[in-house]
Amino acid sequence: MNNRIKAVFFDIDGTLVSFRTHSVPESTRLAIHRLRERGIKVFIATGRLLCHTDAVGDLEVDGYVTVNGGCCLTASGEIIYEQAFPQQLLDKVFELQERYGFQSAVMTQKNMYIDHISPAVKTIADMINIYPEVADVRQVAATQPVLQMCPYVGPELEREIMPHLPECVQSRWIDLFMDINLKGIDKAVGARKVMEYYGLTMDEAMAFGDGGNDLALVRAVAVGVAMGNACNELKAEADYVTSSVDEDGVQRALEYFELI
């Protein structure tokens, strides 16, 4: 058995949860149970908010890296680390929205908010089975700490607007939209905060992912695993490429590395 790994981080969409069934495969559930029986800590590392992790809510885990590292919590909800957008930066994104004609969702601890349900918003919402709440996003941003913004723009428009946001980093797992976080925030940073909290190091961590927002984490851990349905960039960076989420990819990789 592999005794080096003390903790495993799992992305949700496309890794733990199938885009086809919107559920966690039984093989993955059993694999995670066996990990924890061996004393290996299990963490969720997602672009979602904690309130949107219902799809994995019945899994026993030790903590969460949410909104791509913007907020990290223990399983009991204790905040380990949190970083919100300054109002001046939010205003800059809203100005770019008006100039270029796109819409952005804002994510707070309470929910994900959007000004209207456009076709792009509906497509993403149907994929992950989460619909944002329709609201005045400027009003939300003025009254709640914003942990992440999600402009619905493609790669071409991304290249135009990101030079205007040097304070931010972007990541995406689909061409329809991207996640924007404060520079210095990503899943790797969040995972490091969590590992430090538990007295562990990244050399003792393993991570599973499928999208561009998993790149930093897969690079930072001792063993990075890309799902078979992952983007090509992540597959190129991973230490190991397993099968897809619908083909028992998590279980197969954990067995390959002799963790279960």
- 225 in Cβ contact with 218 (< 8 Å): yes
Average pLDDT for 182-190: 95
Q: What is the CATH number of domain 87-182?
A: 3.30.1240.10
**What value does the mean pLDDT of the chain take?**
95
Q: Is 20 left (phi over 0), alpha (psi -120 to 50) or beta?
A: alpha
In this prediction, residue 1 carries a pLDDT of 58
- 131 in Cβ contact with 117 (< 8 Å): yes
Q: Kindly report the backbone phi and psi dihedral angles of residue 8, in degrees, each rounded to the nearest multiple of 5, phi listed first.
A: -130, 130
What tens digit of pLDDT does each residue of 227-241 get? 999 999 999 999 999
Average pLDDT for 186-197: 97
Q: Where is average pLDDT lowest: 106-115, 172-181, 201-210?
A: 172-181
In this prediction, residue 164 carries a pLDDT of 97
In this prediction, residue 163 carries a pLDDT of 97
The percentage of the chain sitting over the pLDDT mark of 90, rounded to a whole number, equals 95
Asked if residue 46 has pLDDT above 80, the reply is yes
Number of helices (H) and strands (E) in the chain: give both, helices first: 9, 14
With residue 126 as reference, give the H or E element that holds it: helix 119-128
Average pLDDT for 12-19: 95
Average pLDDT for 22-30: 96
Residue ranges of the chain that CATH labels 3.40.50.1000: 7-82+185-256
Q: What span, in angstroms and rounded, lies between the C-alpha atoms of 243 and 226?
A: 9
What tens digit of pLDDT does each residue of 141-172 get? 999 999 999 999 999 999 999 999 999 999 88
Asked if residue 2 has pLDDT above 90, the reply is no
Q: Does CATH place domain 7-82+185-256 in 3.40.50.1000?
A: yes
In this prediction, residue 174 carries a pLDDT of 87
Residue ranges of the chain that CATH labels 3.30.1240.10: 87-182
Q: Dihedral sign for Cα 175, 179, 180, 182, please.
A: negative
**pLDDT, greater one: 203 or 128:** 203
Any residues with CB less than 8 A from the CB of 140 and at least 6 apart, and which?
Answer: 106, 108, 113, 146
Asked if residue 173 has pLDDT above 90, the reply is no
With residue 106 as reference, give the H or E element that holds it: strand 104-107
